[in-house]
């Protein structure tokens, strides 16, 4: 496989607790104007739906994707990253450009692990997803396949992290937390204790990337919680928010800029440029530093995010 950092190339062309990423795009509208439901099943956790609309095939959890889309693939260019948040998550490679072991918590349509497998031909990628129905749908409709380098475990994300810590075994150079969705935030995966467990799974030079969908109220608590565990972090904000944090010293922006250049050809093949993501890197503290840290004893994430009663 061609190494994207050394060659110029192009392609022809990612359940509640360990669940599925939601991109903050407008819902698909105008069902009577061409939306086609091609798959529907009720899993243990929710309704799992696949729609096709123009050139897009999308995974949704509500009829006609009225809340949002969990994952989408461009049928004409399957490797193009449709959602900006997935591009932002790949900014983690500017901080750790050659991770040998990668953990992705939350599968969705499999965009992130599928892309990472092509970008990082020497890496082993572990994926954790709580909902077996989502795994089946990702395989059948979104070109995701487990293989010798990509391994899928059907399990709660935090349970997986704890089990691995107890075994005293594998550690990761890159962990991607892609388990938040607009309708529900798994509260036990937002706490200081959970993030400390994630940090313990990182190698000394390891990086964590977290895709979040915080409302303005939760934003404060989430920010101080990540800061309490990791110290300063890069805060990327557009339609979504992505946090990039380090186990050790946070790589400088100059280091990130140098590393980003090696992905220029590969990222153009995905439909964006490294510079578009690099421009979002910021360490500015724009939250209330006196907000309460989220813990296993205090984690009213869905109340704070306007989803409780």
Spatial distance between the Cα atoms of 156 and 139, rounded to a whole number of angstroms: 19
End-to-end Cα separation, the chain, in angstroms: 52
Cβ-proximal residues to 45 (8 Å cutoff; 6+ apart), any chain? 15, 16, 19, 130, 131, 133
Alpha helices in 109-174 (DSSP H): 111-119, 132-141, 157-167
- For the question of residue 178 being annotated catalytic, the response is yes
Spatial distance between the Cα atoms of 191 and 293, rounded to a whole number of angstroms: 8
Other beta carbons less than 10 A from residue 258's beta carbon:
13
Cβ-proximal residues to 112 (8 Å cutoff; 6+ apart), any chain? 14, 86, 89, 104, 176, 178
Selection from 209, 26, 175, 37 nearest residue 99 by Cα: 175
Q: Which of 101, 126, 178, 205 is catalytic?
A: 178
- Active-site positions? 178
């Amino acid at each position: 496989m061609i190494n994207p950092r050394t060659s110029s190339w192009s392609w022809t062309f990612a359940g509640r607790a360990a669940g599925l990423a939601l991109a903050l795009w407008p819902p698909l509208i105008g069902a009577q104007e061409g939306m086609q439901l091609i798959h529907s099943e009720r899993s243990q956790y929710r309704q799992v739906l696949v729609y096709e609309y123009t050139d897009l095939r999308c995974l949704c959890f509500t009829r006609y994707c009225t809340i949002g889309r969990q994952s989408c693939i461009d049928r004409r260019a399957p490797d193009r990253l449709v959602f900006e948040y997935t591009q932002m998550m790949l900014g983690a490679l500017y901080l750790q450009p050659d991770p040998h072991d990668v953990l992705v918590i939350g599968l969705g349509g499999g965009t992130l692990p599928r892309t990472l497998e092509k970008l990082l031909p020497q890496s082993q990628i572990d994926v954790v997803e709580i909902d077996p129905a989502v795994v089946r749908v990702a395989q059948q409709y979104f070109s995701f396949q487990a293989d010798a380098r990509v391994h899928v475990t059907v399990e709660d994300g935090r349970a997986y992290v704890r089990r691995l810590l107890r075994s005293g075994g594998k550690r990761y150079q890159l962990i991607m937390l892609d388990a938040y969705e607009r309708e529900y935030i798994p509260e036990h995966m937002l706490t200081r204790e959970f993030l400390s467990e994630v940090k313990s799974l990182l190698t000394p030079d390891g990086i964590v990337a977290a895709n979040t969908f915080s409302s303005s109220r939760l934003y404060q608590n989430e920010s101080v919680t990540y800061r309490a565990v990791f110290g300063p972090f890069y805060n990327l904000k557009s339609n979504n928010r992505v946090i990039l944090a380090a186990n050790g010293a946070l790589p400088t922006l100059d280091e990130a800029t140098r590393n980003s250049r090696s992905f220029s050809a590969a990222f153009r093949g995905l439909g964006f440029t490294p510079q578009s993501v690099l421009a979002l890197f910021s360490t500015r503290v724009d939250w209330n530093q006196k907000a309460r840290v989220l813990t296993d004893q205090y984690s009213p994430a869905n109340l704070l995010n306007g989803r409780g009663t």
